[in-house]
C-alpha cells in the first residue's frame, strides 16, 4: 500500500524465477489470484487480479489499484488463491504460494 500523488494506491508486484546450479533466472509467467482491501476489518473492495511477466521484453510486472480513502484507520490488503503458471509454451504450475496480508494505518 502506498500513496500516489496524494491518492491511496495498492500495488501487487510479481516475478517468477527458478534456480539453476548457481543463479536465479527470471522467466515468463502468469500470476493470478484474488485481492481484498478492508478498513478496520470491513471489506470495501475485492476482486481477481492477473499479472503477466516477461523479463526479456520489459513487461511491467505490477498491478496498480487506486482506491478511495474511507477515512483514517487500519487498512488491510489480503492476496489469496495465488497461482503461477509459466509461459504457454511451458505451462508448468509451481507449488502453492502462501496468502499475503499487509496492514497499515492510512488516510
Give the pLDDT confidence score for residue 38 in this predicted structure: 93
Q: Would you identify the CATH topology of the domain 2-106?
A: Immunoglobulin-like (2.60.40)
Percentage of the chain modeled with pLDDT above 70: 79
> Above 70 in pLDDT, residue 94?
no
Helix, coil or strand: residue 6: coil
Nearest to 82 by CA among 40, 39, 45, 30: 30
Question: Rounded to an integer, what distance in angstroms lies between the CA atom of residue 24 and that of residue 16?
Answer: 10
Mean pLDDT, rounded, of the chain: 80
Return the residue matching grid coordinates 492476496: 79
Predicted confidence band of residue 34 (pLDDT cuts 50, 70, 90): very high
- Give the side-chain half-sphere CA count within 13 A for 95: 2
What's the pTM value of the predicted model, to 2 decimals? 0.75
For 46-78, write each residue's pLDDT tens digit: 999 888 877 766 666 677 777 888 889 999 999
CA atoms within 13 Å, Cβ hemisphere of 21: 0
Going by pLDDT thresholds of 50, 70 and 90, the confidence category of residue 17 is confident
Average pLDDT over residues 16-41: 84
Amino acid at each position: 500500500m502506498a500513496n500516489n500523488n496524494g491518492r491511496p494506491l495498492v500495488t501487487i508486484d510479481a516475478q517468477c524465477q527458478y534456480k539453476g546450479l548457481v543463479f536465479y533466472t527470471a522467466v515468463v509467467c502468469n500470476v493470478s489470484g484474488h485481492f481484498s482491501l478492508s478498513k478496520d476489518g470491513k471489506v470495501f473492495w475485492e476482486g481477481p487480479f492477473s499479472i503477466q511477466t516477461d523479463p526479456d521484453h520489459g513487461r511491467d510486472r505490477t498491478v496498480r489499484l487506486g482506491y478511495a480513502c474511507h477515512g483514517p484507520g487500519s487498512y488491510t490488503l489480503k492476496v489469496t488463491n495465488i497461482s503461477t503458471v509459466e509461459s504457454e509454451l511451458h505451462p508448468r504450475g509451481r507449488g502453492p504460494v502462501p496468502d499475503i496480508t499487509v496492514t497499515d494505518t492510512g488516510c
